[in-house]
Copies of this chain bind each other. A is one copy, B any other.
Amino acid sequence: MPDTFLDKDTPANRFARAREAQAAALLEDYVEMIGDLTAELGEARVADIAERMNVSQPTATKSIARLKREGLATSRPYRGVFLTDEGARLADRVRARHRTVVAFLVRMGVPEEIAELDAEGIEHHVSQVTLSAFEAVLKGEDPA
């Protein structure tokens, strides 16, 4: 039974489920970005993270503290931020999903820039089943 690994502790109520997805959204965006920065610049610095997330430096620091608490990243004072194995795995999944959502929206006729904007929020609420449906459409297996 595939796709089941994402369904642990799924709340019955749809609003509760959306709230849970939202709670994970910030963590997802941070790990993805830290992964990006590490790949691009060789390291992820708080200042760069803050700039790209469009938040103040102390806000970024605080969110990074949460990443560390949840075992997704590590850092030592005045030094850069690093993803744990778990963090890196999450980053890869999140990045792939982000790209799929953007590509799918573009396929639906949405302009690139708008697709990128909308995807940044939408991605966090797309279940594995829906993601697979998007991938199927992109592969040309049109369900219509």
Interface residues of A (CB under 8 A from B): 11, 13-18, 21-22, 25, 29, 52-55, 105, 107-111, 114-118, 120-122, 124-127, 129-130, 133-134, 136-137, 142-144
**Which chain B residues lie closer than 8 Å to A109 at the CB level?**
133, 136-137, 143
Instruction: Verify A13–B54 contact, CB threshold 8 A.
Output: yes
Identical copies of this chain, number: 2
A109 (CB) vs chain B CBs: closest residue: B143
**Which chain B residues lie closer than 8 Å to A13 at the CB level?**
53-54
Q: Taking the nearest CB of chain B, how far is it from the CB of A57, in angstroms?
A: 15
Distance between Cα atoms of A70 and B129 in the complex (Å):
37
**Which chain B residues lie closer than 8 Å to A108 at the CB level?**
130, 133-134, 137, 143
Instruction: Verify A54–B15 contact, CB threshold 8 A.
Output: yes
Distance between Cα atoms of A107 and B78 in the complex (Å):
51
